[in-house]
Amino acid sequence: MNKGIIFDLDGTLANTAFIHKEAWEIALSKLGINTDIQIETLLGRKTADIAKILAKDKWKELMNIKNNIYLDLVKRKAKGTRCSKEIIEKAKELGYKTAIVTSSNTISAREVLNTVGISVDLIITSDDVTNGKPDPEGILLAINKLDLNPELSIGIGDTEVDAIAFKKAKLGKIYLVRSEVPIDVEKLINLGIKIMNSLCEIMNELNS
């Protein structure tokens, strides 16, 4: 069995978490939907799941509008986060298989990866699973496809739903990178999750 690093995408390898937020806000405005829900607290979940929370019976319409807006924003605004390319290169040098498990759909994820120039061994999107994060289905699918030993593998994300999914999949080490998405630091530390300021710090730990 192989050792691997499973990454989240939005907010972890690319600055796209708040591009998602902006796309949701524009889409809600177009449909005339008002909500008191803080969208940033929903980030990390499947698009359909977020749409159902925000728009109830209009969720499909909201989702389709949001997805089109997001693709346009990504082309203009998406960038890799600090050390995103470097940590993937370092992981491969150290013999780790690399995967991305994202709550984005395949079209959105591919657009982001093409825009920021990131390549990994395997990509699992919301189109590949029934249950999105915090359910570990996507993580377990990546483990199976890459024949990974979970105990020797690492999960890296930026949201609580990432951390919970990694934890349920029993990965050996779990890191969360601080982003603009709110997290309960004390709760996560008590779960054994390491909170880091950037991917650069995690890359340095890989070297040690």
Measured CA to CA in angstroms, residue 149 lies from 6, 186, 190 at distances of 12, 28, 24
| Strands of the 122-124 sheet, one edge to the other | 122-124, 97-101, 4-7, 154-157, 173-177, 194-196
Min mean pLDDT across 116-130, 136-150, 171-185 is at: 171-185
Beta strands in 102-149 (DSSP E): 122-124
148 CB burial (10 A radius; 0-12, 13-18, 19+): buried
pLDDT at 5 over 90: yes
Q: Which 8-state DSSP code applies to residue 161?
A: H
Please check whether residue 7 is in contact with residue 156, taking contact to mean a CB–CB distance below 8 angstroms: yes
- Distance CA(153)–CA(19), nearest Å, equals 29
**46, two tokens:** 């499947």
DSSP assignments along 146-159, one per residue: TTB-GGG-EEEESS
- pLDDT band, residue 179 (cuts 50/70/90): confident
Please check whether residue 183 is in contact with residue 176, taking contact to mean a CB–CB distance below 8 angstroms: yes
- pLDDT band, residue 208 (cuts 50/70/90): low
* 3-class SS of residue 121: coil
- What mean pLDDT is predicted for residues 175-204? 92
Q: How many residues does the chain have?
A: 208
- pLDDT reported for residue 4: 97
Min mean pLDDT across 94-103, 107-116, 189-198, 199-208 is at: 199-208
- pLDDT band, residue 1 (cuts 50/70/90): confident
Rg (CA), the chain: 16
pTM score: 0.89
**9, two tokens:** 């995408």
pLDDT at 190 over 70: yes
pLDDT at 207 over 90: no
Read off the pLDDT of residues 8-19 as tens digits, 9 standing for 90 and up: 999 999 999 889
**81, two tokens:** 């986060």
CATH level 2 (architecture), domain 4-14+80-207:
3-Layer(aba) Sandwich (3.40)
Read off the pLDDT of residues 34-52 as tens digits, 9 standing for 90 and up: 999 999 889 888 899 999 9
- pLDDT reported for residue 181: 83
- pLDDT band, residue 155 (cuts 50/70/90): very high
Read off the pLDDT of residues 77-133 as tens digits, 9 standing for 90 and up: 999 999 999 999 999 999 999 999 999 999 999 999 999 999 999 999 999 999 999
